[in-house]
Structure 1
Amino acid sequence: MRLVQSVVKSMKVAKKYTENTDEINNIGFSHDGMSMITSSADDQIIIYDCEKGTQKRTINSKKYGVDLVQFCSNKGQAVHASTKENDIIRYISLAENKYIRYFAGHTKKVVTLCMNPSDDTFLSGSMDKTIRLWDLRSNNCQGLMNLSGRPVAAFDPEGLIFAAGVNSEHVKLYDLRSFDKGPFASFKPDPKPKDVEWTGLKFSPDGKSILISTSGTEIKLIDSFQGSVLQTFSGFVNSRKLSLEASFTPDSQFVISGSQDGRIYVWSAESGSMVCSLNGDHKTPVKCVQFSPRHMMMASACSIMCFWLPSLDEDEDADE
Structure 2
Amino acid sequence: MASGDAKPAYLPEETIKSLRVAKVFRDNTDQINGMDFSPHGDVFVTSSADESLTVYDVDKPGVKATVNSKKYGVEHVTFTRNNNLVIHGSTKVDNTIRLLSLKDNKYLRYFPGHTEPVVTLGTHPNEDQFLSSSMDGTVKLWDCGTSAAWGNIPVGAGRPVAAYDPEGLIVAIGVGSEEIRLHDIRKIGAQPFSTLKTRMNNSPPWASLKFSPTGTQILIATTGNTCYAVDAFMGNVIWTFSGYNNVLNNKTYTIQPCFSPDGKYVFHGSTDSRIHVYNTDSGNKVCTLKSDHTGAIQYTKFNPRYCMFASSCSMTCFWISTIPAGTPAPRLN
Structure 1 position 301 matched with structure 2 position 325: no
Q: Could you tell me which residue of structure 1 aligns to residue 159 of structure 2? A: 150
Q: Which amino acid aligns with 2:170?
A: I
Instruction: Report the Cα distance in structure 1 between the residues aligned to 2:193 and 2:54, rounded to whole angstroms.
Output: 39
Q: Could you tell me which residue of structure 2 aligns to residue 174 of structure 1? A: 183
Q: Could you tell me which residue of structure 2 aligns to residue 137 of structure 1? A: 145
Q: Do the aligned partners of 1:169 and 1:192 also contact (CA within 8 Å) in 2?
A: no
Q: Do the aligned partners of 2:10 and 2:262 also contact (CA within 8 Å) in 1?
A: no
Structure 2 matches for 1:94-113, cutoff 5 A? 94-113=102-121
Shift of 1:139: 1.1
| Residue 20 (structure 1) aligned to one of 28, 50, 54 | 28
- Write out per-residue CA displacement over residues 207-229 of structure 1, whole angstroms, 9 at most, x where no aligned residue: 11110001111111111111121
Shift of 1:163: 0.6
- Write out per-residue CA displacement over residues 255-299 of structure 1, whole angstroms, 9 at most, x where no aligned residue: 111112111100010000001111111111100101111111010
Q: Could you tell me which residue of structure 2 aligns to residue 183 of structure 1? A: 192
Q: Could you tell me which residue of structure 2 aligns to residue 265 of structure 1? A: 276
Q: Do the aligned partners of 1:83 and 1:109 also contact (CA within 8 Å) in 2?
A: yes
Tell me the matched-pair count: 313
Q: Which amino acid aligns with 1:187?
A: L
Instruction: Report the Cα distance in structure 1 between the residues aligned to 2:282 and 2:321, rounded to whole angstroms.
Output: 22
TM-score in terms of structure 2 length:
0.91
Shift of 1:6: 1.4
TM-score in terms of structure 1 length:
0.95
| Residue 202 (structure 2) aligned to one of 193, 196, 201 | 193
Shift of 1:312: 2.4
Classify 1:299/1:226 alpha carbon distance in 2 versus 1 (closer, same or farther; 3 Å).
same
Instruction: Report the Cα distance in structure 2 between the residues aligned to 1:270 and 1:312, rounded to whole angstroms.
Output: 23
Shift of 1:2: 5.3
Instruction: Report the Cα distance in structure 1 between the residues aligned to 2:74 and 2:154, rounded to whole angstroms.
Output: 25
Q: Do the aligned partners of 1:147 and 1:167 also contact (CA within 8 Å) in 2?
A: no
Structure 1 position 126 matched with structure 2 position 134: yes
Instruction: Report the Cα distance in structure 1 between the residues aligned to 2:153 and 2:109, rounded to whole angstroms.
Output: 22
Q: Which amino acid aligns with 1:74?
A: N
Shift of 1:56: 1.3
Q: Which amino acid aligns with 1:38?
A: T
Instruction: Report the Cα distance in structure 2 between the residues aligned to 1:241 and 1:166, rounded to whole angstroms.
Output: 22
Q: Which amino acid aligns with 1:189?
A: T
Shift of 1:160: 1.3
Instruction: Report the Cα distance in structure 2 between the residues aligned to 1:190 and 1:246, rounded to whole angstroms.
Output: 21
Identity of aligned residues (%): 45
Structure 2: which 5+ runs fail to align? 1-8, 326-333
Q: Which amino acid aligns with 1:174?
A: H
Q: Do the aligned partners of 1:264 and 1:278 also contact (CA within 8 Å) in 2?
A: yes
Q: Which amino acid aligns with 1:166?
A: V
Q: Could you tell me which residue of structure 2 aligns to residue 317 of structure 1? A: none
Pairwise CA RMSD: 1.3
Shift of 1:250: 0.5
Structure 1 position 82 matched with structure 2 position 90: yes
Shift of 1:125: 0.9
Structure 1 stretches of 4+ with a deviation exceeding 4 A read: none
